[in-house]
Amino acid sequence: MKAPSRVDRIAAAVAKHCRETVEPMGFKAFLVAVDREACCLYKEALNKFLPEEMTRVVISAAHNDSELLRKYHLDELAEKELRRQFVRKDTQPKILIVTEKLLTGFDAPILYCMYLDKPMRDHVLLQAIARVNRPYEDDEGQKKPCGFVMDFVGVFERLEKALAFDSDVVASVIQNLDVLRDLFAKMMAEEGAAYLPLARGWDDKSKERALVALELKEDKEKFYRFFKQIQMLYDILSPDAFLRPYIEDFQALTMLYALVRNSEPHPYVDRELTAKTKSILRERTALYSVDLPNKIQELGAEELSALKESDANDTTKVLNLRKALAEVMQREGAARPFVVSIGERAEALAVAYEDRQLTTQQVLLAFEKLADEYVEAEDERKQLNVDENTYAIYTTLKAKMDGVSSAEAQKLNALYHQYPDYQWDPEQGRKLRTELYKALRPLVGPAKMVDTANALLRLQRV
């Protein structure tokens, strides 16, 4: 097993697979060698194909070790630091070369792949497989679909002998790549074939047809489930030559997924696409866009007029308005209280629409009214001749009392200028609150004074 030619061939295969499959997914790997000497030999061989910092050896030390083994001894502190670095994303090393250490008890969810060059059986084998099957999701939404084992000693050809467990138990944790290839082909031929007509052509009318076809919540969620499963299989199999006939169709489905997700008010497309799928999307979006047709860049009078007069279908108009209103609420809600009310009403309408309580025409009319209300509020601010901060105070007071004037809002706004550091200086914060109480008491009365002051102090100053 330690013949130089064999070690070199396996090292070349490991290096290629790690570069093409494991690294693009953002994960890491173990190479499990037959003994401590083999670990060191693999390290020397891998240095020919990968940068030295990409691989490290973790073995036990003995006092009579050879010079080769002593070269890769680690003291307790060095091994502890190595373990700590390995579990982090985007750090070296990418591959740990082991034989016994770390196969049990080492918790590294980022570990995706095990290159197996050591005969194993029963619980030891199952525990090693469990190491690479640990669930993983990082802060950027990167998920590990499952673990992957590349078997160089034929353990998986004789699983019934290697694992003394019921066949159902074995099948629940281990699947051969051929099974995954068959599943991928089946899903593309059946479910994929139903969605592909929606992903052909990419002008505005083609996008509109796709959005109408996946308008209902249950239809969208069904498509999302399909795409996430097919993406997981693609990640595991890529860059297998088996995928070549499917690449164009998978690209089209990726574009469709991005379009439909971008129609949501708060899309998380980047978080939901894996690194390999993102690269496909980038290749396609050099030529095509996954934005909504007739996308509203800003929610203003001209944009609303253009959308209303456009030849876009009603579903597209609804999606554009819902998305635009949600973006406005997220961007401006803290500083402009009236936006929060508009956003909350828009979301309630969207929920009713998804639950089929409203028709497309009904929700479109309601969204248009909310958008008009937003535009009219800006016109009102200009007519009052006040700045954004004063207008925020004005609209907050309107919700608490009748007959508020812009002059009263301006007087309250002037108090903030006296205490510019109130947000991080506790003393200034107390003084501003006291002054607000004094000014608000005659306006809203003692019962509403504290609540109104709290609402004003929560406003984001611009």
Q: What is the pTM of this model?
A: 0.64
Map out the domains of the chain as residue ranges: 4-174, 178-285, 301-384, 405-458
Backbone angles phi, psi at 154, to 5 degrees: 80, 15
DSSP H/E element including 111: strand 111-116
Q: Is 256 exposed, middle or buried (0-12, 13-18, 19+ CB in 10 A)?
A: buried
Distance, in Å, from the CA atom of 237 to the CA atom of 21, rounded to the nearest integer, reads 8
pLDDT at 149: 87
pLDDT at 170: 47
Alpha helices in 385-405 (DSSP H): 388-398
pLDDT at 169: 45
pLDDT at 185: 95
In order along its 462 residues, the chain shows pLDDT tens digits of 899 999 999 999 999 999 988 988 889 999 999 999 999 999 999 999 999 999 999 999 998 999 999 999 999 999 999 999 999 988 999 999 999 898 877 888 899 999 999 988 766 777 777 778 777 777 666 677 778 888 898 876 655 555 554 445 444 445 567 878 899 999 999 999 999 999 887 788 889 999 999 988 899 999 999 998 898 888 888 878 899 999 999 999 999 998 998 888 776 666 677 777 877 777 766 555 678 887 877 777 788 888 888 888 899 998 888 888 888 888 887 777 778 778 888 888 888 888 889 999 999 999 898 888 888 888 888 899 998 889 889 888 888 888 889 999 999 999 999 999 998 999 999 999 999 999 999 999 999 999 999 988 988 888
Which two three-digit tokens encode residue 259? Answer: 């379009």
pLDDT at 47: 96
Whether omega for the bond prior to residue 135 falls within 30 degrees of 0, making it cis, is: no
Contact between 40 and 71 under an 8 Å Cβ cutoff? The reply is yes
Is the domain covering 4-174 a CATH 3.40.50.300 domain?
yes
Contact between 363 and 321 under an 8 Å Cβ cutoff? The reply is no
Q: Which amino acid is residue 461, in one-letter code?
A: R
Which two three-digit tokens encode residue 268? Answer: 């998380």
